[in-house]
Amino acid sequence: MLSIDRLDVELLEMLAGDTRAGVVELASRLGISRNTVQARLRRLEEGGLLTGYRPELKLGQAGVSMEAFIGLEVQQGRLSSIVDALTAMPQVLEIHATTGREDLLVRVATETQGDLQQLIEAIVVIPGVVHSTTTLALTTPLPYRALPLLKHITRDAGWGRSTPKA
């Protein structure tokens, strides 16, 4: 497990706000040296917490207005091949293996309702898919976020490494 502190969280917050911010700019905003920023970014990357510097995309601006979650019940032993088939579909944004009634929760996006219907039809005929349920996302009042959790687990830490509670 990677040890993080409040400075790491502040650095990640700044990156989340501006993925194009350079090391010198980040160092200036934080009041620390450029080398410290570089070392911390490298440690966060090598530790697997910071996995990339991606832009946030609003698919609706590109005409992709339908977003849905498809729950899939799958035959035992077929999970891997189903995930492979889903991964090959460009409309599939995320796949989560879950417990409960469904084995997979698949987040998808399409341009139209008709496109969504075609995608569902393609998914349900994948060998090993037993049952599906589809839920349309009307809005996303709270998009994915991780920084509040990181702030919470490092709330008692100062600058300097502090391992979150296990």
Q: What is the pTM for the complete model shown?
A: 0.81
As a whole number, mean pLDDT of residues 131-139 equals 97
pLDDT greater than 70 at residue 69: yes
Pairing state of beta strands 66-74 and 92-97?
Answer: unpaired
Q: What's the CA gap between 93 and 142, in Å, rounded?
A: 17
Q: Which is higher by pLDDT, 163 or 56?
A: 56
Instruction: Summarize pLDDT for 24-52 with one digit per residue, the tens.
Output: 999 999 999 999 999 999 999 999 999 98
CB-facing half-sphere around the CA of 136: CA atoms within 13 A? 8
Q: Which domains does the chain have, with CATH numbers?
A: 6-55 (1.10.10.10), 59-137 (3.30.70.920)
Identify the CA nearest to 126 among candidates 88, 157, 162, 163: 88
Amino acid 165: pLDDT:
53
Cα torsion 141, 138, 145, 53 to 10°: value is: -130
